[in-house]
Amino acid sequence: MTMIEVKDLSKVYGSGETKVIALDSVNLTIEQGQFVAVMGPSGCGKSTLLHLIGGLDRPTTGTVTVEGKDISKMSDTTLTELRRRKMGFIFQFYNLIPVLDAVENTALPLILDGVKPETARIKAKEWLTRNKLEDRGSHRPDELSGGQQQRVAISRAMVADPVIVLADEPTGNLDSRSGDEIASVLRKIVSDWGRTVLMVTHDPRIAAYADRIIFLKDGRIVDDALLSGDNGDNAKRLKEKVEAL
């Protein structure tokens, strides 16, 4: 099933002299249950793509369709609701509300959605437990390590049962070991829970957890590599590419 469909998506910042084309008619289809990594040099438009898909920003031209619905023309209210119910976000920095503890931070999307606080707390704790943070529930973010904070963020992203999880350099701030932890949690989200994950990263190691890597350069997709599937399959695909030489 197609989860995300991006058509002729462009994003232009500024105008005239200072015009920056962050995305240049990008076309992309992402299936449900796929773990997609987006890679590319700095400034190539990775974050922009993620933001547009997440409905955090509006495209200059083109459309983004999530679960068959075009989100580029939705009102702010509908979009906000969509983000709340269908999407989970994980960012590199400033992920958590500093004055709330881990459980409260995790429960935030549910509470925002009007779920009863007790129910929200229970679900939040479940997710924290899955991410091995059961004993850190009452800690505030400044009492957690970077990796733990990021796992709280993942719990929060997952707590409202979103269909899509968007992560912008979720391991950018972590050492390789914590980075691996985060990546394997994301992997599980896809493998065990069937969610669709779109992740921006600079780290090949982390990207290798994904099923598919999209390479961006200067706002265009320059390469799209499938990593999963058995060796024969992959070899065949490679061969196709070679033939295209």
Ligand X SMILES: Nc1ncnc2c1ncn2[C@@H]1O[C@H](COP(=O)(O)OP(=O)(O)OP(=O)(O)O)[C@@H](O)[C@H]1O
| Chain contacts with other proteins (rule: CB under 8 A) | 41, 47, 51, 54, 56-57, 76-77, 80-81, 83-85, 87-89, 91, 93-95, 97-100, 104, 108-109, 111-113, 117, 142, 156-157, 160, 168, 184, 187, 204-205, 207-211, 213, 215, 222-223, 225, 227-228, 231, 234, 238, 241-242, 244-245
CA distance 140 to 23: 38
In the complex, the smallest distance separating the C-beta of residue 150 from other proteins, rounded to whole angstroms, is: 14
Identify whether the C-beta of residue 52 lies closer than 8 Å to the C-beta of residue 200. no
**34 vs 92, beta carbon nearer ligand X:** 92
Three-state DSSP at 97 gives coil
In the complex, the smallest distance separating the C-beta of residue 222 from Mg ion, rounded to whole angstroms, is: 17
The DSSP annotation for 121-166 comes to HHHHHHHHHHTT-GGGTT--GGGS-HHHHHHHHHHHHHHT--SEEE
In the complex, the smallest distance separating the C-beta of residue 30 from ligand X, rounded to whole angstroms, is: 18
In the complex, the smallest distance separating the C-beta of residue 100 from other proteins, rounded to whole angstroms, is: 6
Tell me if 47 contacts Mg ion by CB under 5 A.
Answer: yes
The one of Mg ion, ligand X, other proteins, none whose footprint includes residue 151, by CB under 5 to 8 A per kind, is none
Q: Binding ligand X by CB under 6 A: which of 20, 122, 222, 226?
A: 20
CA distance 121 to 106: 8
Is residue 153 classed exposed, middle or buried when 0-12, 13-18 and 19+ CB atoms within 10 A define those classes? buried
Identify whether the C-beta of residue 98 lies closer than 8 Å to the C-beta of residue 142. yes
Element (H, E) at 237: helix 231-243
Residues that bind ligand X (CB under 6 A): 13-14, 20, 22, 42-48
